[in-house]
Structure 1
């Protein structure tokens, strides 16, 4: 009987069922696999039995179970793929936020360097204006700060507000070939020893303004790089802009996305091996039938149950 083609084919079918049993890790599928092995062994060890009945059993039942489980497996894997697509998108967003945090750290460091450049430049500008020199007063690469960070860290304002902030009376400023600075602002800077810090950046289209604050004093001024213009800044005009920085916001978003990915991973693991309740119920009924001691006597009448399995393959139930 070892060379019987029906038995060889039966072994192949049982191997397929074993793989599906291992994939789904479901008790009823495993029981069906074991029971199918028992039926195969019965025909293998009892030559007097009609092996064609084994072929009929596989045709009517086992192959239908395999086809049904393979279809469920394919659907599950497609659904799991959607979970992992979302996980990938969330992971990319997490990495982008982390990169943004890294750039924010650089921004915070460069703010201090930029303030130092501005203070040094203003101190030098005061000397140039006082001594009527023709030297360029500004520190090297003073405009690089805005060029690098304006897109990500400067606050958007309207063109009208920009025009209002940078408007001045000619008689109230000092002017030379390199800069324009409000007279009273220069006086205050001298009085407070040019000790200022970067407060915020403003952007309107391609134009930018840097706002600075006197250290330990509630006064502000702006630097308009495209015109090398320094004016007092009425900070109340920026009241409609949220200038606060919620440092913990990114950390909270990252944690939420990581928690969501954990839930998606868990859902993917469950979805991957899930079998619809209706299918499990039908498989349980079929297992009872093939476990019945009189099953062999009724194997030819197994068409009704087999047809139900086949019907499930062509419905939306799974």
Structure 2
């Protein structure tokens, strides 16, 4: 076999190897079929010296080169888009790490709810004594406002300004008042009857203002504590009928969960996008495979320019 023929066969093998790598990368049936068919054509020339070796060179020049260039362009475009997705994933992971490091622990919240309930119950018991005895003693437990300061951002539910105003609205004749606190008269009676046995129910917020809602342990009654005014009133839950109280996760925990879910979707999308081929290209490759699989393909090789031109035109489109 002369050196000229050997060089063309060697060049052909290199082209087919490049095509094989791309078929493995994209893992697409039509690309794999084109790769196999190209091998068959190469082997046909390798085993039959009477065939014009220039036709093999022409085949690669007109077809294989264009297919490889087209697939490489798609691969490069896909990898660029995937890189952008992973940049977003990385930023989300950094945010998740930062937020996870400062998450208010759900267990701590549950424990501190019990402590806050005890403080409120003791404060109300003391307030009853102060009001009954016309005392000037300060009725509130130490650091009673720390609970809301610590947990409002993460665990309290948002109210509209209108809802908030309705909750804290009262008539002066309905309440007992001293320099330290204001409490609804009927609420004080209910508290005395139930021996001040209540528990923290939910926290509410509107802007910087907060309300703590408590529930009687033995009855289905609720009252609120408005720390800014040391105000205690019965709480009408119908005002909160549109409030979604099904999610007890802290705000940060919700954000972290959403980011983790988003990253899972992004990773899945990246895996698909990495090897995605536009439908127009797939159809073009299918058509091309059909032509090179034709038993009379070699006889019409000189007329393959049309298919080659279509492939080259695809390279210049905005589809990729």
TM-score, reference length from structure 2: 0.70
Q: Does residue 1:169 correspond to 2:172, yes or no?
A: yes
Alignment partner, residue 224 of structure 2 = 222
Alignment partner, residue 142 of structure 1 = 144
RMSD of aligned C-alpha atoms?
Answer: 4.9
After superposition, the Cα gap between the structure-2 partners of 1:146 and 1:280, relative to the gap in structure 1 and judged at 3 Å, is same
Residue correspondences, number: 308
Q: Name stretches of at least 5 consecutive residues in structure 2 with no aligned partner.
A: none
Alignment partner, residue 235 of structure 1 = 236
Q: For 1:281 and 1:160, how far apart are their aligned partners in 2?
A: 64
Contact 1:158 1:204 survives alignment (8 Å): yes
* 2:289 alignment partner, SS class: helix
Q: Does residue 1:279 correspond to 2:284, yes or no?
A: yes
Task: Map residues 82-161 of structure 1 onto 2, 5 A cutoff.
Answer: 107-130=109-132, 135-152=137-154, 153-158=156-161
Q: Name stretches of at least 5 consecutive residues in structure 1 with no aligned partner.
A: none
Q: For 2:291 and 2:95, how far apart are their aligned partners in 1?
A: 48
Contact 2:161 2:206 survives alignment (8 Å): yes
Contact 1:83 1:268 survives alignment (8 Å): no
Among 66, 69, 85, which residue is 1:67 paired with?
69
Among 21, 44, 48, which residue is 1:19 paired with?
21
Deviates more, 1:79-88 or 1:30-39: 79-88
Q: For 2:67 and 2:276, how far apart are their aligned partners in 1?
A: 15
Deviations 1:244-265 (A, max 9, x none): 62259999xx89x969967993
Q: Does residue 1:265 correspond to 2:260, yes or no?
A: no
After superposition, the Cα gap between the structure-2 partners of 1:160 and 1:24, relative to the gap in structure 1 and judged at 3 Å, is closer
Q: For 1:23 and 1:160, how far apart are their aligned partners in 2?
A: 59
Q: For 1:106 and 1:5, how far apart are their aligned partners in 2?
A: 76
Contact 1:31 1:287 survives alignment (8 Å): no
After superposition, the Cα gap between the structure-2 partners of 1:123 and 1:181, relative to the gap in structure 1 and judged at 3 Å, is same
Q: For 1:210 and 1:263, how far apart are their aligned partners in 2?
A: 39
After superposition, the Cα gap between the structure-2 partners of 1:21 and 1:216, relative to the gap in structure 1 and judged at 3 Å, is same
Q: For 1:40 and 1:34, how far apart are their aligned partners in 2?
A: 10
* 2:284 alignment partner, SS class: helix
After superposition, the Cα gap between the structure-2 partners of 1:151 and 1:275, relative to the gap in structure 1 and judged at 3 Å, is closer
Q: For 2:19 and 2:92, how far apart are their aligned partners in 1?
A: 37
Contact 1:28 1:283 survives alignment (8 Å): no
Q: For 1:246 and 1:156, how far apart are their aligned partners in 2?
A: 15
* 1:227 alignment partner, SS class: coil
Q: For 2:185 and 2:304, how far apart are their aligned partners in 1?
A: 102
After superposition, the Cα gap between the structure-2 partners of 1:61 and 1:154, relative to the gap in structure 1 and judged at 3 Å, is closer
After superposition, the Cα gap between the structure-2 partners of 1:180 and 1:109, relative to the gap in structure 1 and judged at 3 Å, is same
Alignment partner, residue 192 of structure 1 = 194
Task: Map residues 35-46 of structure 1 onto 2, 5 A cutoff.
Answer: 35-41=37-43
* 1:198 alignment partner, SS class: strand
